[in-house]
Amino acid sequence: MRLGPEVAIILNVSALERTSGRISAPRRLAVIGIVAACAAAWTLGGPFASSSANAAGGAKASGPVDVLYAGSLLNLMQQKLGPAFHRATGYTVSGFSDGSKALASEIKGGTQVGDVFISASPKVNATLQGATNGNWVTTYGAFGRSPLVLGYNPASTFAKALKTQPWYNVVDRRGFLLGRTDPATDPKGVLAVGALTGVALSYDVPMLAPLATSASNIFPETTLVGRLQAGQLDAGFFYAVEAAAAHLKTVPLTGTGLTAEYTVAVLRNAPHVAAAKAFVEFLLSTSGRKILKANGVAPISPVRFVTGSSEVTTTTAQSTTSTSSTTQPS
């Protein structure tokens, strides 16, 4: 998977404008051109060059890559991305899934050691950036989106109502068992609360508000699908990617438009740097994006890379490696 030559860059130069005055249009173009050239050199031949480009004779590698990823990607990673990556490169994904916020806390606390971090929200990366947060993430790439939907059990006594009526007129009924994840540890839990409270106000359904604050309907992200399939819940909040992987019946969350935005980063002190870079390259390649699109994740095109306050949009897999010598604002 050799990287192509086309790199398009969007540079945030507001910091330069603040420190050196207004930048004229010609100077702005010159700055962007210089950064584009540097980024291309960094991507194609710098210290973070493509691992596959450095492979001799295209021979496959071997060994693990430890990926810490959002629980909503569990089935996709185990059944699709992991096996496809192994076939393409020879590396084997050794993954651990949990809520994105929980993973970030575990990374900072040293209870989870990984090579790659995949979050369901760009905001989570901020908790790993900067010296005060350990510089675990320097640059991350936003690569895909998946909408929040309501998955339901077709055997539920409320299934017919969910298929024929707006979701917000059904989930507040007596006896309805609704599941969601913890907003303290999972971005999906935050979105679920937003869906309930937002629709409660905009559609004048006050009975939804207590569902957003009750702790009795909170479950670990990695168990929510199983609980729904076992009939322990009538419905739950899921991303389309996990609903598709588990073959769940779903209805749209009318009145919300909420989505996950998945990001990827190589962590500081990654034990398997070459494998980590190979994984990111595969994820953002044409093959990886086809897998994402076929399984409920709409690829962000072009990929958006963020380093501190600077944003880079590129058509190729730029490095997302973090180094201990680089400090970025949190």
In the predicted model, what is the mean pLDDT of the chain? 82
Instruction: Report whether the peptide linkage leading into residue 302 is cis, meaning its omega lies within 30 degrees of zero.
Output: yes
Establish whether domains 45-144+260-314 and 147-259 are of one fold: yes
pLDDT digits (tens, 9 = 90+) for 266-297: 999 999 999 999 999 999 999 999 999 999 99
- Of 26 and 144, more confident: 144
DSSP character string of 107-162: HHHTS---SEEEES-HHHHHTT-SGGGTT--SEEEEEEEEEEEEEE-TTSTTHHHH
What integer is the mean pLDDT of 159-174? 97
Q: What is the DSSP string of 241-252?
A: HHHHHTT-EEEE
What amino acid is encoded at 103 in this protein?
Answer: L
The predicted model gives 145-165 an average pLDDT of: 97
**227 pLDDT higher than 60:** yes
- Cα dihedral sign for 96, 102, 103, 108? negative
Instruction: For residue range 109-122, list pLDDT tens digits in order.
Output: 999 999 999 999 99
CA dihedral 123, 151, 244, 278 (to 10 degrees): 20
Provide the residue ranges of all domains of the chain, joining segments of one domain with +.
45-144+260-314, 147-259
Q: Which CATH superfamily is domain 45-144+260-314 in?
A: Periplasmic binding protein-like II (3.40.190.10)
| Range in 9-23, 58-72, 165-179 with the lowest mean pLDDT | 9-23
Nearest to 82 by CA among 72, 69, 94, 100: 94
pLDDT at position 101 over 80: yes
147-259 topology per CATH: D-Maltodextrin-Binding Protein; domain 2 (3.40.190)
What is the per-residue pLDDT for 1? Answer: 41
* pTM of this structure: 0.76
Q: Is 306's pLDDT higher than 70?
A: yes
